[in-house]
C-alpha cells in the first residue's frame, strides 16, 4: 500500500466519495487546530457532520479500535473551534469511517454518532 500518509490520503478520498454518494456535501477537509485535525466536515439536510477517518492495511484489525478517549476529547475540542470559527448555529453530529485495505476492494465501515458510543 505504501506510506502511511499515502494510505491516509487515499482513505480520506474514499470516505469523501462514500459520503457524496449518500447525499453529503463536503464543506471542509483537513481542518487543523492545536487539538488535532478534523478529517472531513460535511453538510446534509441542514446538519453539519464531522467525520473521523482511519485506514488500516490488512483485514484483521478494526480501525475503530484505534480511537482513544484522548482522541475523542481532542476531536470534541477541535469541533468546538470549528463551530465557533464557522458561526454554525444548527445541529451537528460526529461520525467515523474506517477503511480496511486487503486483497480486493477496500472495505468501508460507517459508524454514525460514534462519539456517543464512548
The domain tally of the chain equals: 1
How far, in Å, CA of 83 to CA of 13, rounded? 23
CATH of the domain at 70: 3.40.1350.10
- The dihedral over CA atoms of 33, 35, 38, 42, expressed in degrees to the nearest 10, equals -80
The domain in which residue 32 lies consists of 4-117
Closest CA to 40 of 77, 66, 15: 15
Q: Could you list the pLDDT tens digit for every one of the 118 residues in the chain? A: 456 666 668 889 999 999 999 999 999 999 999 999 999 999 999 999 999 999 888 766 678 878 888 999 999 999 999 999 999 999 999 999 999 888 888 889 999 998 875 4
Question: pTM here?
Answer: 0.89
Residue 4: per-residue pLDDT: 62
Amino acid at each position: 500500500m505504501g506510506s502511511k500518509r499515502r494510505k491516509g490520503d487515499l482513505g480520506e478520498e474514499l470516505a469523501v466519495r462514500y459520503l457524496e454518494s449518500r447525499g453529503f456535501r463536503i464543506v471542509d477537509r483537513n481542518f487543523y487546530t492545536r487539538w488535532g485535525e478534523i478529517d472531513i466536515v460535511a453538510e446534509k439536510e441542514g446538519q453539519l457532520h464531522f467525520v473521523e477517518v482511519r485506514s488500516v492495511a490488512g483485514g484483521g484489525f478494526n480501525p475503530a479500535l484505534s480511537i482513544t478517549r484522548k482522541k475523542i476529547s481532542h476531536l470534541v475540542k477541535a469541533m468546538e473551534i470549528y463551530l465557533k470559527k464557522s458561526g454554525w448555529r444548527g445541529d451537528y453530529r460526529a461520525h467515523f469511517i474506517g477503511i480496511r485495505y486487503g486483497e480486493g476492494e477496500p472495505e468501508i465501515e460507517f459508524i454514525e454518532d460514534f462519539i456517543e458510543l464512548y
